[in-house]
Amino acid sequence: MNGPIVRPSSPGDRAGIREILLHSGLFGPGDAECVDEMFGHALAKPTPDNYRFLSGWLDDSMRGFACFGLEALAHGTWGLFWVCTLPEARGRGLGSALLREAVRVATAEGGRLMVIHTSSTPPYAPARRLYESQNFARIAVIPEYYKPGDDLFIYSRRLSNPIC
């Protein structure tokens, strides 16, 4: 077994990203459509202020991805919009590798803060543990944001100190 490999996503990864979402056990067709639209925007306008995608590989197959980018109307704030792995890839370091690379890229490009929004429900507990293991702190909760019984948890991590 090989360790995780993370690289910027290529146009050929588009179908694989959709399949990862659909087979993740967490997301459905509407989520896959949303991510596919984001990927299309990233392909059409590959600029520093657009979405960024990373593909994660284990055992010579794509098993996960991340989507992140600059937050609009904020200075140096990045958002991690998606990090998703297939169930059989979980616990093998792929999610951590994807998140570390997103943080590395954002930091290298002058990012000062990264923010993550996620669900409070039990299926998202592994994702929350991943964020916390990478030094993200839960800084806010919005009760029943997604639906009754499903709160929004907001995590953040300082990436670098602002230049004075």
Q: Crossing angle, helix 14-22 and helix 29-44, to 10 degrees?
A: 160
Residue 162 sits at φ, ψ, to 5 deg, of -60, 145
- CA 115/CA 32 separation, integer angstroms: 21
Is residue 56 within 8 Å of 62, Cβ to Cβ? yes
Is residue 6 within 8 Å of 101, Cβ to Cβ? yes
Express as a percent the part of the chain with pLDDT over 90: 89
- Which range (21-25, 30-34, 72-76, 130-134) has the least confidence? 72-76
Is residue 66 within 8 Å of 79, Cβ to Cβ? no
- For the chain, give every domain's residue range: 5-158
| Fold for the domain defined by 5-158 | Aminopeptidase (3.40.630)
Whole-model pTM?
A: 0.93
Express as a percent the part of the chain with pLDDT over 70: 97
pLDDT in tens, 30-51: 999 999 999 999 988 888 888 9
pLDDT for 46 equals: 83
